Amino acid sequence: MEVVFWVAAGLLVYTHAGYPLLLRLLVALRGSPPQAPAGGELPAVSLIVAAHDEALLIERKVRNALELDYPRDRLEVIVADDGSSDGTAALARSAGADVVLEAPRAGKVAALNAAVERSSGEVLAFSDANSFWERDSLRRLVARLAEPGVGYVCGQVRFSTPDGDNQEGVYWRYEMAVRSLESRLAGVTAGNGAINAVRRDAYVFLDPERGQDITLPFELVKRGWRPVYEPGAVALERMAATIHDEFARKRRMMTGAWATMLGGGMLSPRGYGPMYALEIGSHRLLRYASPLLHLVALATNVALLGEGVAYTITLVLQAALLAAAALSSFVPAKPFRIARYYVAVTAASAIGLWDYLRRGVPVTWEKAEGTR
């Protein structure tokens, strides 16, 4: 039982703290990958936005796309309307979108696939309707795709209106730091729907049940491409205002993530190099397994009380985390709110797994409250 406890506790510490430190060491030892040569003609880009009932934002999103620092004759803006009932398609046309596709609701990935088939660009860029890019972001994404072997690039999301009790901003800064190191080592293990781009000849048409953010990077690695992160390509997005809203969003995301990991081929090492396999095991498998590791560590810790002072200390630390999360509504100090966020996200991973095992992955999606 002592071995089980220390293995579970050690894996938790490793995936959250030890793994980033290991990445730093490996990156320092290996150096940086080759960079793209400067200059060259800019490729034609199709910027695709999947939208469902985005009447409040779609005009602003289209204007944001058209105002990017990229030659207008080499930029195609496509809005893929996934069964909207609020006039999203008409508003996208009036705002100046080059192509507006209207289809019965079939989910985000199906909408993206349809838009790719209709697109003409050498580079396919993707964005959410509630994400607004800084002017030079598209040029920065395109520049990274010119590097040898790079097939996919994601940018950085910055969250606005950080009031409320959601600590997504803290989590996301940590996640982006890890992603930057992974990018320099073997490639990122996930992207984000707010801001990313892929070479047309590297794009993979996915099943509607599979999330593009979590699937494209590892699928491209298996096909010989490298997926990277470009922190200078920035999208601004409003975060969910409350932890309740964020929990619901993370639960939905984790349902799809579990499906990708358990049934989508992520854990198959075929096509991975050793460093990318290390990233998948450390950042995805162990991170997603954190709820189970926490339960094992807590149960064995309780059983080991009386076996030494170390087990009293470790149990107090675990209890303190749970107590801080529970008290965060009454003690609005930042450490308490971060504890609550961590506990909520960990619980969302466990419930997402339960949702996946019970009913699979829903292909349609609802907007997270407070993010519009």
pLDDT tens string for the chain (372 positions)? Answer: 999 999 999 999 999 999 999 999 999 998 766 666 666 789 999 999 999 999 999 999 999 999 999 999 999 999 999 999 999 999 999 999 999 999 899 889 999 999 999 999 999 999 999 999 999 999 999 999 999 999 999 999 888 765 555 556 677 788 889 999 999 999 999 998 899 999 999 999 998 888 899 999 999 999 999 999 999 999 998 877 677 877 888 888 898 889 898 988 999 999 999 999 999 999 999 999 999 999 999 999 999 998 999 999 999 999 999 999 999 888 888 889 889 989 999 999 999 999 999 988 776 666 654 555
DSSP secondary structure of 146-176: TSTTEEEEEEEEEEE---SS--HHHHHHHHH
At 227 the three-state DSSP class reads strand
- Within its chain, how far is the Cα of 352 from the centroid? 15
Q: Which residue, among 54, 108, 127, has the nearest Cα to 85 in the 3D structure? A: 54
Is residue 263 one of the residues assigned to a domain?
no
Res 209: pLDDT: 81
For residue 12, give both structure tokens: 């938790």
Res 239: pLDDT: 75
Is residue 259 one of the residues assigned to a domain?
no
Q: What is the CATH number of the domain that holds 72?
A: 3.90.550.10
Is residue 357 one of the residues assigned to a domain?
no
Q: Which residue, among 337, 353, 165, 344, has the nearest Cα to 253 in the 3D structure? A: 353
Res 263: pLDDT: 87
Res 252: pLDDT: 87
Is residue 82 one of the residues assigned to a domain?
yes
Q: Alpha helix locations (H) across the chain?
A: 2-13, 19-30, 58-66, 88-95, 108-118, 137-145, 168-185, 212-222, 243-263, 274-279, 286-288, 290-303, 309-327, 334-359
pLDDT digits (tens, 9 = 90+) for 249-272: 888 889 888 989 898 899 999 999
For residue 112, give both structure tokens: 């993206």
Res 136: pLDDT: 97
Q: What is the pTM of this model?
A: 0.90
Is residue 182 one of the residues assigned to a domain?
yes
Is residue 86 one of the residues assigned to a domain?
yes
Res 330: pLDDT: 87
Residues 158 and 174: their CA atoms lie apart, in Å, by 12
Count other C-beta atoms under 10 Å from residue 296's C-beta: 18
pLDDT digits (tens, 9 = 90+) for 283-295: 999 999 999 999 9
Count other C-beta atoms under 10 Å from residue 354's C-beta: 13
| Domain extent at residue 226 | 45-241
Is residue 295 one of the residues assigned to a domain?
no
Number of domains in the chain: 1
Is residue 333 one of the residues assigned to a domain?
no
Q: Which residue, among 77, 54, 69, has the nearest Cα to 129 in the 3D structure? A: 54
